[in-house]
Structure 1
Amino acid sequence: MSEMPEPGITPVNQPFWTALERGELTFQRCGSCGGAWLPAREECPRCLAAEPGWEVASGRGRIISWVVYHHAAHPGFADRLPYNVAVVELDEGPRLITNILADEGDLGIELPVVVRIEREATFSLPRFSLA
């Protein structure tokens, strides 16, 4: 069995990963235009203002899209086949790529979900379950 790939933690995204360790899902918001996004960036993707702030998400959202993998994209995922990779839009607006903790037959566009932060190897990940 291969090890899971580790996230690329940088000074820009470190607050995101630190918050997950505390059990909080966070995202960035622009103080100028109000835009909200994930993953972390040094500037607002909408207006390019620098120094965005961090906010704690409610943890609620909806499924935008998903795919089910039947061949592992990385050897560390081989024992999890089949597994899903989904896009979830948080109630606050940002979208993130994640997993839905449900059978593939239960997944659907617009279904409400709630975050479940899970420990994986040496880091925590935001995954979602059906609400």
Structure 2
Amino acid sequence: MDVIAQKSFPAALPLGPQVPVDEPFWMGLLEGELRIQHCKECDRWIWGPSWVCQDCHAFDPPWEAVEPVGTVYSWTTTHHAFPASREFAESVPYTTALVELPHAGGRRILGIVTNTRDVRIGQHVRGWIQPAGESTGGWPVLRWIAEED
């Protein structure tokens, strides 16, 4: 495994609640939790944030803290800083993973892997919350650490 130092990464701004429906996600990160919506009517986990369950149409599905562990479903490594994302210029190359969360019904969520560029589909990862800072617009951000099998 090509190990790199676990480090903080910049984030594409703006971050934080953009619409009221996603506010519980961001408040969860501020409190050190990963929160995903979970419909109590039909037991469906929901990501991205929604006012209505896509299965049973129940309104305002609640948010639940879930363990931030999962497996890599897909990934990509970025080797070039694009003009629209200049804040990442000093961080290339970096790897972004689409992580499947078994504790959230298999919902998938994106994030940067901070300890290596060498990941593989099916690899176990553990989430960590990068503290709020200037490079993240004052909001914490979910990141991933790839675990060795």
Q: Which TM-score applies when normalising by structure 2?
A: 0.79
The answer to whether the aligner puts 1:128 opposite 2:140 as a matched pair is no
In 1, the alpha carbon distance for the partners of 2:69 and 2:115 equals: 16
In 1, the alpha carbon distance for the partners of 2:81 and 2:40 equals: 40
> Pairwise mapping of residues 6-45 of structure 1 onto structure 2 (< 5 A)?
6-7=14-15, 9=17, 10-45=19-54
Tell me which protein shows more helix as a share of its residues: 2
What is the match of residue 71 of structure 1? Answer: 80
SS of 2:140's partner is strand
Tell me which protein shows more strand as a share of its residues: 1
What is the match of residue 126 of structure 2? Answer: 114
Segments of structure 1 that go 5 or more residues without pairing to the other structure are none
Q: Which TM-score applies when normalising by structure 1?
A: 0.89
| 1:72 maps to amino acid | A
SS of 1:12's partner is helix
Q: Say how many residue pairs are matched.
A: 129
What is the match of residue 111 of structure 2? Answer: 98
Contact kept in structure 1, 2:15 and 2:137, CA below 8 Å: no
Structure with the bigger RCO (C-alpha within 8 Å, sep 6+) is 2
- Computed over aligned residues only, the root mean square deviation of the Cα atoms, in angstroms, reads 1.8
